[in-house]
Amino acid sequence: MKRSNLIAGTGRSVGLLMARMAVRRALRECPELLYRTAYILGAELPNDVDTTLFERAFELEFQSHAPDGPGRTTAPEFHYFIEDGGRERYRRNKPFEEFSLGKSITENQRLIAIGTPKHPLSEAFRTIAEAIVVVRPEQRHLQAAIKIARDFHLSDEIASELITSNISNLSIAFRGNRPLDAALRIINALGKAEQTAQPIVDVEGNAPSLDDIAGYGEAKSWGLELAQDLRDWKNGALQWSDVDRGVLLLGAPGTGKTVFARSLAKSCDAHFVECSLTKNQALGHLGDMLKGLSKAFNEARKNSPSVLFIDEFDGIGNRATLSRHAPEYATQVITGLLELMDGTEKRNGVVVVAACNRIETVDAAFLRPGRLERIIEIPLPDLQARKAIFKQHLQTDPPETILDEVGLLTEGCSGADLERLARDCRRSARRSGGTSVGRHVLNVLSDQFLKVPSSQLRRNAVHEAGHAVAAYAIRGIVATELVIREYFRTTNVAESRDGGYTVFSHDHSSFQVRSDYEDRIAVFLAGHAAEAILFDHPSDGSGLVAGSDLERATMIAARLIASSGIYGDLVFRADLTMAQLKRMVRDDEQFAKSCDLVLKAQMRRVRGLLASNMKQLEDVANALVKKGRLSREEISPLVQSNTNTI
């Protein structure tokens, strides 16, 4: 092995040198891949080590052999398998984002997937991979790495003991000129610290009880009541028909629905059965899918009381929205599952907890009494919950001021995001030899959160103030909350575009007249208008993406014109589904032009209105820049003073 070649890019990091040697050894099994410009490779690591070292090692190895030589620009794309076993989730350096494996492969042919014992390569990946290699750093690699980095020989005896240590701990311990005995002490201490660092749900699936988890709002109080009901049912004090038999948890990925279901089972002293629809679907046949579901119900019945968790419930489909071409089996699966829930065989003692992201995707029949009779939304954690979740995953008590900082910066983060942040902080502390974790939290925060520049902050405040002032001037409505984002996560591109938001309480009127539509359009366009007035040019912040002000205003105009019967034509052109309206705007030029006319008229109107309420606009914007968030009580006097209305 050429030493010079090995050292290039690795510096004197013992861990990276070892990873490099182990990767080089593993790639000998498939030498041809090194010279290819496209490959799909699976790498199995022996334990849940710091995978970034191995990523770097693979990169360096492919770079040094590449046909286009060192400096090759396209590095491999790395994928990880997260969550347990069969759940087909992937991530590329961004945890908890789902990627389609198929898409990654066609778009990026240089793909290396990393599997670890906890998160092994999926069967699907194994089938398509061109090679699967095992990367296992050996004792001789450790000895060679120490020789290169520190120029001394590590005895066989010590090396055989150390080779079982976490590779990144070896890097930390042998950094700089630390003498051997100090390095050994550090490895020992880091190893112990890791043993005590238990994830919230461990490998065996043990979870904390409901009392010990934070951030679940209504779900938690429902769960605690259910626990009491199940106890009463067990003691014969309550009939099964009086117990809630099912719940649908609604929440974004990573809000902790799985953790909640496990904690619920623990608090209810109930058996936990998990059933993933996509896992059963992967088996391919209708029979297999129903068999998987019915097996789960049987296990739950046999061990009752039990909590039967059905994850990714969206996967089952909704008969109201299934396309005409959906396979017949989709309907059969729905009916099959309904039968299992109603139970010709009784399901006494089995509480079904289903989880999904959006309610529209769930067939209404599942929501009837006796089935998933309750729908509970799992919100993103609030300030207090964010602090508590972060602390729980940090596994140590940082100073309160630091926790406050974390709580403030992480607005909009899910439990999973907070877990990742805490993990990054622990890793950073570990790498520097386990010194004060507080300082590392601050370092990681400053790496991962960027302050919005003050000029941008002011523009965002003016934009939100535009919505608030217009809503009051047009409809006499005071916004409930105005927020501008002072930081955004460097790992989240969407956030860097999302400068803030304005909240209005919902208007529940069932029928609307033409001016209702127009007023709503004007309020949506008011952010853009306010920017145009105070900065000469508006930014593209109102448009570009789905969910933006422009998209929402356009959709209202499209609804008004397409089929409402209150704007010119009486003709009914399309249903009110967003998808259909969007297609019409995109494909029917004449229709798009009509929408644009409505939008332009409202833009003129709202610009005029804001121009005659400049003081209010400035006052709200200034207060928002100062405080970052304004409540209804704070907004009210600012928009109400001498407002010109129409």
Q: Which residues lie near ligand ADP (CB under 6 A)?
A: 200-201, 213-215, 251, 253-259, 355, 389, 392, 415-416, 419
Closer CB to ligand ADP, 118 or 552, in the complex: 118
Choose between 355 and 409: whose C-beta lies nearer to ligand ADP. Answer: 355
Lookup: tokens for 556: 């209202």
Q: Which is nearer to ligand ADP, 214 or 474 (CB)?
A: 214
Q: Amino acid identity, residue 503?
A: V
- Smallest separation, CB 252 to ligand ADP (Å): 7
Considering the complex, what minimum distance in angstroms separates the CB of residue 490 from ligand ADP? 20
**258 or 410: whose CB is closer to ligand ADP?**
258
454-475 and 514-535 helices, crossing angle to 10°:
150
Using left for φ > 0, alpha for ψ between -120 and 50, and beta otherwise, residue 480 falls in: alpha
Least distance in angstroms from the C-beta of 417 to ligand ADP: 8
Choose among 483, 489, 338, 514: nearest CA to 410: 489
Start-to-end CA span in the chain (Å) = 81
Q: How far is the CB of 419 from ligand ADP (least distance, A)?
A: 4
Q: Which is nearer to ligand ADP, 65 or 427 (CB)?
A: 427
Nearer to ligand ADP by Cβ, of 274 and 518: the residue is 274
Give the chain's count of helices (H) and strands (E).
26, 15
Residue 451 C-beta: closest distance to ligand ADP, Å: 26
The residue with its CB nearest to ligand ADP is 415
- Decide whether 154 or 355 has the Cβ nearer to ligand ADP: 355
Is residue 370 a contact partner of residue 245, using CB atoms and an 8 Å limit? Answer: yes
Nearest distance from C-beta of residue 278 to ligand ADP, angstroms: 13
Asked whether the beta carbons of 431 and 173 are under 8 A apart, the reply is: no
Task: Give the CA count within 13 Å in the CB-facing half-sphere of 18.
Answer: 31
**Which CB atom, from 419 or from 519, has the smaller least distance to ligand ADP?**
419
* Nearer to ligand ADP (CB atom), residue 259 or residue 337: 259
CB of 245 to ligand ADP, least distance (A): 21
CB of 38 to ligand ADP, least distance (A): 33
C-beta of 254: minimal distance to ligand ADP in Å? 5
Q: Which residues contact 370 (CB under 8 A, 6 or more apart)?
A: 245, 246, 341, 342
Smallest gap from Cβ 355 to ligand ADP, in A, equals 6
Rounded to the nearest whole angstrom, what is the least distance from the CB of residue 95 to ligand ADP in the complex?
A: 9
List, as own/partner pairs, every contact residues 544-547 make where C-beta atoms lie below 8 angstroms and the sequence separation is at least 24, other chains included. 544/497, 545/494, 545/497
Nearer to ligand ADP, 115 or 254 (CB): 254
CA dist., res. 354 & res. 261, Å (int): 9
CB-count exposure of residue 442 (10 Å: 0-12, 13-18, 19+): middle
* Closest CB 99 distance from ligand ADP, rounded Å: 15
- Closest CB to ligand ADP among residues 260, 524: 260
Class of residue 44 by CB neighbours under 10 A (exposed 0-12, middle 13-18, buried 19+): middle
Distances (CA, A) of 404 to 88, 409, 459, 490: 35, 9, 27, 20
Rounded to an integer, what distance in angstroms lies between the CA atom of residue 502 and that of residue 284? 46
DSSP-derived secondary structure for 518-550: HHHHHHHHHHHHHHHHHHSS--GGGSSSTTSHH
Q: Which of 565, 544, 547 is nearest to 555 (CA)?
A: 547
Question: Rounded to whole angstroms, how far apart are CA atoms 207 and 225?
Answer: 19
Between CA 162 and CA 155 the distance in angstroms is: 11
Residue closer to ligand ADP (CB basis): 199 or 399: 199
Instruction: Name which of 24, 53, 56 is nearest 171 in CA terms.
Output: 53
**CA gap 101, 81 in Å, rounded:** 11
> Phi and psi (nearest 5°) for 356?
-155, 175
